[in-house]
Structure 1
Amino acid sequence: MKNNKEIDKIAFIEIKDGKILSTLSKGKTKYYIPGGKRESAESDKQTLVREVFEELSVKILPDTAEYIGTFSAQSDGEKEGISVIMTCYRAKYSGELKASSEIEEIRWLNLKDLQIISAVDKKIFTFLNQKGELM
């Protein structure tokens, strides 16, 4: 019997000049790749569109969403054995990136910033670095 809990999240991957867009939520100490938890019967794209708009005030163009990969790690701030499953997408968007009311700061991070990000984000950063996208 499996008693480990999994937290299902969708993430938005935006890379410029070898750095990835990351956010610091109010009250948190680590930066996270933008995105969040799926609500009831939402699809991946619906979650991506909603979460990115809520956090970054831009509109994802759903037809441009491209699957990057799915990553899993111990969830930060949760009891041991609770993992986060992060399904990542890249997509075009309209509007200007700006922090919403729940986001304290938007920052572009690279591989040198591993000490200030979550465990699952470390796996994503490493994966993108190995593909030559993240410095």
Structure 2
Amino acid sequence: MTQIDKLAWLAIRDRRLLCVRSHGKTLFYIPGGKRDPGESDQAALLREITEELTVRLAPASLRLAGDFEAQADGKQAGVRVRLRCFFGEGEGTPTPAAEIAELAWLTSQDSHRLSPSAALVMAWLRQQDLID
């Protein structure tokens, strides 16, 4: 089994989760990305969110929400993605940049629009009564 490790930022506003869609993709995912070699979780997440959304996360505000694992979107069966998700405060208005084509503030009613891993996180956030 192959595993892809990613970091993700859980931004919630008005009981909706910020999700993004990359160019050429149909499903939304939670913003974030992969670590560069030798990069810490925190440094990678700060860099990825700045690159993707032009938002600066406050390092001291980051707190681990949990790890979530599911089938990787668009990959062959058995390729899994593990999301290490963090809550944190961002400075600036999220704006699509780099590979991001679109962003949306979604609720659990939108789970059909999400990648398998994002849908799993969305279900957990709903169970925690953080989103609608």
Give me the TM-score of the superposition, normalised by structure 2.
0.97
**In the alignment, does 2:121 pair up with 1:120?**
no
Equivalent residues in 2 for 1:50-69, closer than 5 Å: 50-69=47-66
When Rg is computed on C-alpha atoms for both structures, the one with the higher figure is: 1
Distance in 2 separating the partners of 1:96 and 1:21: 12
Distance in 2 separating the partners of 1:74 and 1:97: 27
Q: Which residue of 2 aligns with 1:10?
A: 7
Number of equivalenced pairs: 132
Could you tell me which of 91, 95, 98 is aligned with 2:92?
95
Cα deviation for residue 101 of structure 1 reads: 3.2
What is the identity, as a one-letter code, of the residue corresponding to 2:123?
Answer: T
Cα deviation for residue 126 of structure 1 reads: 0.6
Taking only the aligned residue pairs, the percentage that are identical comes to 36
Pairwise CA RMSD of aligned residues? 0.8
What runs of 5+ residues in structure 2 fail to find an aligned partner?
none
Distance in 2 separating the partners of 1:39 and 1:6: 16
Moved over 4 A (4+): none
Distance in 1 separating the partners of 2:72 and 2:5: 11
What is the identity, as a one-letter code, of the residue corresponding to 2:78?
Answer: G
Distance in 2 separating the partners of 1:17 and 1:46: 27
Distance in 2 separating the partners of 1:46 and 1:101: 18
